[in-house]
Amino acid sequence: MNLKQISILGCGWLGLPLAKDFIKEGISVKGSTTSPDKIDILTQSGITPYLLTLGEASSATYLDFLSESELLIINFPPRRIPNITEVYQQQIRSILPYIGNNQKVIFISSTSVYENTNDWVTEIRHTQPEKESGKAVAAVEQILHTQLQHHLTIIRLSGLIGYDRLPGRFLANKKEVPNGDAPINVIHRDDCLGIIKSVINTNNWGEIFNGCADKHPLRKEYYTLAAEKIGLTPPTFSNHKDTAYKLISNAKSKEVLAYEYLHPDPLKLL
C-alpha cells in the first residue's frame, strides 16, 4: 500500500511514535489529541495536529481530519468510567459517517476481549470479555466490523510494555497478589508498531491479528524480577491454586504477515 497520508486518532504513547515513523518514511500524518498541551508536541514532530474529542467535534473538524487520508488508525483506549461501554460506542459512532468508502481503517484493540480459557487463544475464538473495558472494546469492534467490513483490520494487542512503561512498578510492594502461576501476555511497543506497519505493507484488510510476545513467563517470575531490576520491593503472591489465565497466540501475525518479533522474550527486556 503506497500511502501519501494517514490520519491517526490518538497520538499518545503508541500513536505518537507511530506517526513519527510514518513521517520518516515520507508519509504525511494528521494526528489528534484531546489535550491542548500536546498540540505543540505534535507540531514539532511534523504532525498536522487536531484537538479532537470524539462525540464533541464538529462535522467540519471530522471532515478535515479525514480528508485525503488513505488510512485511518483508531488508537485510543476506553476510559475507566462506570458507563464506558455505552460511551465508547457513542464516541466511535460519531466519526463513522465521515469515513470515506475508499478509506482503510486499522482499529487498535485489546486481547481483553477474550475470556480466560486456561488454554491458548487465537483470533477465531469468540470474544467473551470479562471486564468492562474489554466489553467496551468488543462492542466497538462489532460496530466497526458491521460498518466497514473488508476495509477494516483489527489488531488485538496484549499488555503494553517498553520504554517508560516499566512493569516493575505495576505490582511493586503489593501483598498476596493472585494468579502468580498464570502465564503473562505482553508486547513491546516496537512490536506494536511493527505489526501495524506489516498490515499496511502486506495489504491485509478484513482481518484480525493478535499481537503478543512469543514467550509467556509466569506472573510471579516476571513481576518479581521486574521490580528487583529497578530497585523496588517485589510483590508477594498468594498460595491460592485456582489460577485463571489465557495464552495469546501470535501465530497468525507471524504466518500471514511474515512478522518476526523484535522482542519475543519479555524476561530479556528486564
Cα dihedral 147, 113, 262, 15 sign: positive
Query: What is the distance between the alpha carbons of residues 248 and 232, in angstroms, rounded to a whole number?
Result: 29
What is the number of other CB atoms lying within 10 angstroms of the CB of residue 111? Answer: 21
Query: What is the distance between the alpha carbons of residues 126 and 115, in angstroms, rounded to a whole number?
Result: 9
In order along its 270 residues, the chain shows pLDDT tens digits of: 689 999 999 999 999 999 999 999 999 999 999 999 999 999 999 999 999 999 999 999 999 999 999 999 999 988 888 899 999 999 999 999 999 999 999 999 999 999 999 999 999 988 889 899 999 999 999 999 999 989 999 999 999 999 999 899 999 999 999 999 999 999 999 999 999 999 999 999 999 999 999 999 999 999 999 999 999 999 999 987 778 999 999 999 999 999 999 999 999 999
Per the CB < 8 A criterion, the answer to whether 188 and 213 are in contact is yes
Query: What is the distance between the alpha carbons of residues 69 and 5, in angstroms, rounded to a whole number?
Result: 5
pLDDT of amino acid 1? 62
Strand segments, DSSP code E, in 76-223 are 104-110, 120-121, 152-157, 159-161, 186-188, 208-211
Cell numbers given for 92: 466511535
pLDDT of amino acid 241? 77
Residue 50 pairs in a beta bridge with 32
- Domain ranges (residues) in the chain: 77-164+187-213+245-263
Query: What is the distance between the alpha carbons of residues 95 and 148, in angstroms, rounded to a whole number?
Result: 12
77-164+187-213+245-263 belongs to CATH 3.10.580.10? no
pLDDT of amino acid 174? 94
**CB-based contacts of 60, cutoff 8 Å, min separation 6:** none
